Structure 1
Amino acid sequence: MATTKKKRRKKSVKKLKYSNRNLNFVHVVTLAGIILILLVIILAVRGCGGISHRTPEGVVEGYIKAAVAGKDKKMQECYSADKISDEAKTEISSTIKYFQAHGAKDVNIDSCEAISESKSYSYVYIRYNLVLQNDQEYPCISTYLVKVQDKKYYLYSPSDISDKISQQAAKDYQKFMTTKTYTDYTKAYEIFLKKNPGYEDKIASKLNG
């Protein structure tokens, strides 16, 4: 009887070891599956380069990034949930052409905030540097009027900007020109031109050619 009991104990130990191996294998496979799913999601988000409509600043940043990358369809997403106007299409093509004239291969965004806000719109500036082919950075500042549509933010089409909004934006921009953000930009711009004499003429000739 003693011998039989010992054999049963040995068999039960073997079964326990085998079940632990199976359990560890299941854990490893499950963990690997989760990691794979996360990687797919991350790569999809990066590859998509989607436009954020959650904030006025988000849509402006997305617009500039898409413009430097030459993605006109992504830029169109920034303008409206409805059919895009011909004026907006012209604005898009002009912006892409401008960045291409610089030979920009990337963009580094320094800051992006609202200059002023009202019930009907936000007036947003974005300060950024175009990364050129020689790795120099060309300082830029752009401003955009942003509206809310279906609880999402979109750029105003040029044809939708009223005279009243345009006049107020001009006044707000004059105030913005006295801020540190703007003065820092002008200093960086002047330094770049000193290092690259005749640069603006070269860009102008490309755009007019």
Structure 2
Amino acid sequence: MRRGIRFIIPAIALLVILAMSGCGVSHKTPEGVVESLIKGYVKGEEKKVKDCYEQKKDTEESLQTEITATMKYFEAHNVSELKLGECDTLSEDKDYSYVYILYNLVLENEQEYPCVSTYMVEKKEKKYYVLPPSKITDDMRKQAAEDYAKFMTTDSYKAYTKAYNTFIKKNPGYEDKIASKLS
């Protein structure tokens, strides 16, 4: 009996460690923090989202408003699963990266709603954080617009657009339905 307990306790400890390691935010890469942000939003994990923005305490009012609205947006879709696709850096400049992420929201009826999002990410002391809109300068916005225009010519973006248009044709009025849930 004692021998069995010696093996069970370390096994349980290992399971707990493995379970907890998947729950945090990845600040190791710009892409990692963006993926963590999307996962946090979809799962409704406000603490995780705030950690991605480095705003765990004393969250800026405008950012809190955005977080709340974005969480309601994802909630309105009744997502059963999140399928992450490509996530890569469109541009980098010293301590900043402009990152895109493609993902699908798997809906209750098993259809996949294609999405694309972009975020400005800042490197601070070897960790990456998503920049809140209030910290994005006009120069950053201008550069991001140029980078996004280039991104729109890529095969990745074209594939996203094709998938999105196909979804909308199969589900006319879907976005209106989501908008009505939010109003």
Match of 2:133?
A: 158
1:45 Cα offset (Å): 2.9
CA contact (8 A) 2:95 2:124 kept: no
Q: How does 1:196-207 map to 2 (within 5 A)?
A: 196-207=171-182
Aligned partners of 1:201 and 1:43: how far apart in 2?
Answer: 38
Match of 1:34?
A: 10
CA contact (8 A) 1:69 1:106 kept: no
Match of 2:157?
A: 182
Q: Which has the higher contact order (CA 8 A, sep 6+)?
A: 2
Higher helix proportion (structure 1 or 2): 1
One-letter code aligned to 1:77: D
Aligned partners of 1:167 and 1:85: how far apart in 2?
Answer: 24
Structure 2 residue corresponding to 1:59, chosen from 14, 33, 39: 33
Structure 1 vs Structure 2 CA RMSD: 1.7
Identity across aligned pairs (percent)? 52
Aligned partners of 1:154 and 1:66: how far apart in 2?
Answer: 14
One-letter code aligned to 1:75: V
Deviations 1:53-81 (A, max 9, x none): 11111110011011011111110111126
Structure 1 runs (4+) greater than 6 angstroms displaced: none
Aligned partners of 2:24 and 2:72: how far apart in 1?
Answer: 21
Match of 1:137?
A: 112
Aligned partners of 1:27 and 1:196: how far apart in 2?
Answer: 59
Aligned partners of 1:137 and 1:28: how far apart in 2?
Answer: 46
TM-score scaled to structure 1, two decimals? 0.81
One-letter code aligned to 2:38: I
The answer to whether structure 1 residue 85 and structure 2 residue 60 are counterparts is yes
Q: May I ask how many residue pairs the two structures share in their alignment?
A: 182
Q: Secondary structure at the match of 1:178?
A: coil
Aligned partners of 2:39 and 2:173: how far apart in 1?
Answer: 26
